[in-house]
Amino acid sequence: MEYSFQVHWGDTDAAGIVFYPNFYKWMDAASHHFFATIGHSTWRLFQEEKIGMPIVEAKCQFHSPLFFEDQVCVKSTIAELREKSFRIQHQFFRGEQLVAEGYEVRVWTKFGGDRPKAAPIPAELREKMQREAVTITREEGSW
């Protein structure tokens, strides 16, 4: 799944280089785009069903800086799918150049009672997510 945008002036520091927390903001935006594209708007899920997908872990590695007005494409895939959680992998490209890569671990969560509670990911959604899944082998192991 691809999510594209252009770097804005406010995303950069005084040297004109993208300030690193923006990569986490963009991973979050790419995840929301991913679910909207497969027909499960995260806003609608929360408004209508009180379902959210909070992040319990995130990591990003930077290979090359991004600058003001760079065109960026984030390629997102489901790297691991468990009963109540998943890891979504994001790769940031400027043209053909990989400039950063990271992931988020999210938990399917019901927000209806006294406190949030992890819940199984519905079968219909799991099937859609599995179609977008890839097998990723990393030296650092799994979460």
CA-based nearest residue to 111, from 58, 42, 57: 42
Active site residue 13: yes
Check 13, 28, 70, 114 and give the catalytic one: 13
Rg (the chain; Cα; Å): 16
Which residues are designated catalytic?
A: 13
